Amino acid sequence: MNNKYSKALKAVFPLTLPICAAFLFLGISYGFYICSKGFSPWYPFFTSALVFAGSMEFVLVTMLLSPFNPLYCFFMALMINSRHLFYGLSMLEKYKNTGLKKFYLIFGMCDESFAINCNTVIHEGIDKGCFMVCVNLLNQIYWVAGATIGGLLGNSLQINTKGLDFALVALFTAIFVSQWQSTENHTPAVLGIVIPLVCLVLIGPQSFIPPAMLLLLLVFITAYYKGGIKL
């Protein structure tokens, strides 16, 4: 049991290093942000561990400062995180036969964990479930540690996080390219770039994701019934 996890951890840790760098510092900036609004360091600790969805947590701070309206907050969370629905649909097959680990794998399915778990070819001899749990767990540790450190340091330190995001964008582009090279049918990848890009240009950065997702879904469903895209 322990051996399975230590093997998986050894394979996973190097893969998560770019995420470690970015999450620690982005987490710190979240901790700064929420504590600058007068909240104690417990807030970044608990919210980052329980919500574990970066952009949502920044919005949560605004919600905590607004009049009490939990129903609105619930639906906002649904909207902002609607992209997770696609992650779930993509992982139905991969999460099969992972037993109780599945619960944690779904709970901690953030953008970065999804990207690694969905696209990494896991070497033989490493347990699939343990591998994916390690990815989620490490990423969550980085994020919660960053947020808590940020909360504890509070106003005593200023960090310029500009440019840090580059590590993650580079990571995602690398994953995208390696996935491109490992598949013969590039239609889904091309659609995945073109449709959101068109929506971004037409609608703007604030709300282009839900329409982009709907369009992608429509195209794939049409392709399924008309047989336009081969499996």
Site for other proteins, residues 197 to 216, rule: CB under 8 A? 197, 200, 205, 209, 212-213, 216
In whole angstroms, what is the distance from residue 25 CA to residue 38 CA? 20
For residue 113, which amino acid is it?
Answer: S
Does 192 sit near other proteins (CB under 8 A)? yes
Count, residues in the chain: 231
What SS3 class is residue 230? coil
Query: Per CB under 8 A, does 157 bind other proteins?
Result: no
Minimum distance from residue 179 beta carbon to other proteins (Å): 6
Q: Does 107 bind other proteins (CB under 8 A)?
A: yes
Please select the residue that binds other proteins; options are 4, 7, 21, 83, rule is CB under 8 A.
Answer: 83
Binding pattern for the stretch 111-150 against other proteins, x by CB under 8 A and - elsewhere: x--xx--xx-------------------------------
AA identity, residue 182? S
Considering beta carbons, is residue 17 or 197 the nearer one to other proteins?
A: 197
- Please list the helix, strand and coil fractions of the chain in percent, rounded to the nearest 5, in that order: 75, 0, 25
- For residue 82, state whether it binds other proteins (rule: CB under 8 A): yes
Residues 166-185 that bind other proteins (CB under 8 A): 168-169, 172-173, 175-176, 179-180, 183
User: Which of 1, 3, 14, 70 forms a contact with other proteins (CB under 8 A)?
Assistant: 70
Q: How far is residue 157's CA from residue 103's CA, in Å, rounded to a whole number?
A: 37
Distances (CA, A) of 215 to 110, 188, 191, 195: 22, 13, 10, 7
